[in-house]
Amino acid sequence: MEKLIQQLINGISIGSIYALIALGYTMVYGIIKLINFAHGEILMIGAYVGLICVTTFKLPLIAAMLIAMVVCAILGMLIERVAYKPLRNAPRIALLITAIGVSFLLQYIMLYRFSATPMVYPASITGSFGSIQIGNIIIPVIRIVVTVVTIILMILVQIIIKKTKLGKGMRAVSSDRDAAQLMGVSVDRSISFTFLLGSALAAVAGVMYGVMFNVSPMMGSSSGIKAFTAAVFGGIGNIPGAILGGFLLGIIETMVSAYISSSIKDAAAFAILIIILLVRPSGLLGKNVREKV
Amino acid sequence: MKMKKWFIALVVLAFVATAFAGCGSGNGGNGGDADGETIKIGANFELSGAVAKYGEDTMEGIKLAVEEVNAAGGIDGKKVELVTLDNTSDSAEAKAIATRLATQENVLAIIGPATTGATQATIPVTEENQIAVITASGTADNLTVKDDGTVNEYIFRICFYDSVQGKIGANFAADNMGAKKVVLISDNSNDYSMGIAKSFKETLAESWTDVEIVREENITAGDTDFSAVLTNIKAVDFDMIYAPVYDTEAALLIKQARDLGIDAPIMGADGFDSASAMGEVIGMENFNNVFFTGHFAAGDPMAVDFTALYQEKLNKEPNGFNALGYDLANYVMQACERAEELTKEGVHAALLDGSTFSGVTGTFTLDEFHNPIKSVVVNEYVQGVPTFKARVEP
């Protein structure tokens, strides 16, 4: 029982990181029907920005995270402006390939600059969290922090999307771009804002991932693909779906390596994904909407 | 169709390459004799590129050993001359340099390269020119053995091979630590880790039947979250973890284990020999009760004189590559001294004569597969500083 609870905590904490990243994938897909493969790289750059802030500039972790959010938000908007906007009316495959190109570009720039050797947040920061003990269960505090921060951010995102003018614009563009434009919604601004929001969330995920584990130029591709899976799992384009998908993927992965074998955790997680998509092609919470012809 | 064209192009390229390689060795027949005044030894090392650190550190030890011998009058009155060339951490370049040393520089033997891959690339050159290549740090199990199980006649090494460390790990766990219940964690994406884990298990099964492996777990290189695996381990009753994995994974594994309240000793192989990188992750004050097998320890009683000499001459503490380089040079120079005639054939014969060598990384003779049978150092991390713990016989 104790082991089960401990494993659940492990799964939820890694799942909350997946969920944070998955939000970015799903929001961008919702609004411009693009699988933004560069999203994982935004996370990676966020992790590096945070690391540089705490090591070179000796800033506290909170400040480092805020700076990483700002840098990534700007970077996300910039990528959209430069690489995606000119292709908005091009065939969707061209956009997809561009996204892959941007992803590799960022990855290899960072590889060139920082080399493949993983870097870590200083032990003075990572060690300062410690662990708490409840009965026989020991929980590293960082895992609680990650989960709580994720939940707070998710509530914030929901409020922004549901209550603010920009959020309403996003939803309008997402459901019908032309109609939204006719109603006076600025499509460009709505799309930019989507990238801003998604990238800022990825930056938070990147910094938290870095504090928990390590930072390397390739970190975005592995956690990015997991988060993308989580988004599809929950129903791509659907925000609560991305959150659910993220948590579920984290828990499934942990349970498989806990009770079956750690060497097949990814295989098992993806097998479950395939089964779910066979049964529900639009994902767990996705609506089965027919594409307009 | 396109594939076919590529294939043809590749075949043509391969032919051209072989033809050129043939040309290169054409003028090699006459070489090998010392020119009467000096004894020439070729050094083929990674002095630039990705693993330049290995080559540079090894060369430092080599130069020190050669200086010492020359200062004491050389070998049979002849000075030893090193012909040092940089293979740029590139296997193809390592092969080209081996050819040049054998055919143009007429050296008696070649020392280096430092890595397994580059050393393997020189095998065809050694056979064509009948010249010995001795490495100090190529540790892959199959380096000295051909695919059909016979020995690579001209390849030698003075370091342990990877899976020996599994044997040493098992002996140390059972004998020195008194472990009875061991958890084994290996990285199933790399041969190094799997090979060591295999020999660890075999040694326990053969020699230490009272020691039980209570749980086996796998990780994959590149993984960063080991909490699921560690939570599993926590639920079983054990007294030691053996985890022959590389430093990146090892550091995260140790940190996360300690965070989850697992205080048991954790042992690994020379993948753990990375004090500063691992210390950064784990934090120096928490980096305790971790053991690893290695080539050399500065605190080893066998190496006291060498450490003092290094301090005096170069004003620093020697590392494992320095020590291996020092032993490598001495080992080859002693073979030159024993050789009946100073030719590459003579030196090769001397390497095979079964003599015992006593160096700063251990005392050994070579077995039939040109691997040294020597004791291995076990270090313990105390507050992040690797500290000599014991010498363990294989």
CATH architecture assignment, domain B38-160+303-361: 3-Layer(aba) Sandwich (3.40)
d(CA A115, CA B373): 37
Write down the pLDDT at residue B12.
Answer: 54
Residue whose C-alpha is closest to residue A194's, from A64, A48, A62, A84:
A84
| pLDDT at residue A267 in the model | 87
Indicate the SS3 state at residue A32: helix
The whole-angstrom separation of Cα B143 and Cα B155 is: 8
**What residue segments make up the domains of chain B, in order of their start?**
38-160+303-361, 164-294+377-392
Strands B372-373 and B363-366, bridge-based pairing: antiparallel
Domain B164-294+377-392 sits in CATH at 3.40.50.2300
Q: Judge if B38-160+303-361 and B164-294+377-392 fold alike in CATH terms.
A: yes
Distance from the first to the final alpha carbon of chain B: 55
Interface of B with A (CB under 8 A): 188, 217-220, 222, 224-225, 227-229, 231-232, 234-235, 248, 251-252, 255-256, 259-261, 277, 279-284, 286
User: What count of Cα atoms within 13 Å lies in the side-chain half-sphere of residue A87?
Assistant: 17
Give B-chain residues touching A118 at CB under 8 angstroms.
248
Positive or negative torsion for Cα A280, A283, A287, A292: negative
Radius of gyration of chain B (CA): 23
Q: Looking at residue B275, what is its pLDDT?
A: 84
- For the question of whether the overall pTM of this predicted structure is more than 0.90, the answer is no
At B65 the three-state DSSP class reads helix
Chain A to chain B, count of Cβ pairs less than 8 Å apart?
Answer: 78
Q: Which amino acid, B133?
A: V
Whole-complex ipTM = 0.85
Of residues B331, B384, B330, B371, the one with CA closest to residue B67: B330
pLDDT 10s digit of each residue in chain B, 394 long?
455 566 666 555 555 555 444 444 333 334 444 456 899 999 999 998 888 888 999 999 999 999 999 999 999 889 999 999 999 989 999 999 999 999 999 999 999 899 889 999 999 999 999 999 999 999 898 999 998 989 999 999 999 998 899 999 999 999 999 999 999 999 988 888 999 999 999 999 999 999 999 999 999 888 889 999 999 999 899 999 999 998 889 999 999 999 888 999 999 998 898 888 888 889 888 899 999 999 998 888 888 999 999 999 999 888 889 999 999 999 999 999 999 999 999 999 999 998 999 999 999 999 999 999 988 999 999 999 888 999 988 8
**Domain-by-domain residue ranges, chain A?**
20-220
Write down the pLDDT at residue B16: 52
Closest by alpha carbon to B31, among B22, B17, B20, B42? B42
In terms of Cα–Cα distance, which of B227, B223, B292 is closest to B259?
Answer: B227
What pLDDT sits at residue B213?
A: 94
Q: For position B24, what pLDDT does the model report?
A: 40
- Name the residue in chain A with its Cα closest to that of B234: A3
Mutant choice from A214, A218, A226, A259 vs B, greatest count of B C-beta within 10 A: A214
Coil, strand or helix: which one is A149? helix
B131 HSE (CA, 13 A, CB side): 36
Name every chain A residue with its beta carbon within 8 A of the beta carbon of B277.
Answer: 117
Q: Which of A13, A222, A262, A264 to mutate to test the interface with B (most CBs of B within 10 A)?
A: A262
> How far apart are alpha carbons B386 and A200 in whole angstroms?
42
- Amino acid of residue B207: S
The pLDDT value recorded for residue B106 is 92
Ranges under pLDDT 70 in chain A? 288-293
Given a contact cutoff of 8 angstroms between Cβ atoms, the answer to whether A269 and A249 are in contact is yes
Please give the single-letter amino acid code of residue B200. F
Q: Are strands B212-219 and B181-187 parallel, antiparallel or unpaired?
A: parallel
Interface list for chain A against chain B, based on CB atoms closer than 8 Å: 2-3, 6-7, 10-11, 14, 117-118, 120, 122-124, 126-127, 131, 133, 138, 140, 143, 209, 212-214, 218-219, 222, 253-254, 257-258, 261-263, 265
Cβ distance B280 to A3 less than 8 Å, yes or no, reads no
Measure Cα distances from A292 to A77, A176, A289 in Å: 28, 10, 9
Contact A119/A216 with Cβ under 8 angstroms?
yes
**Residue-level pLDDT at A237:** 85
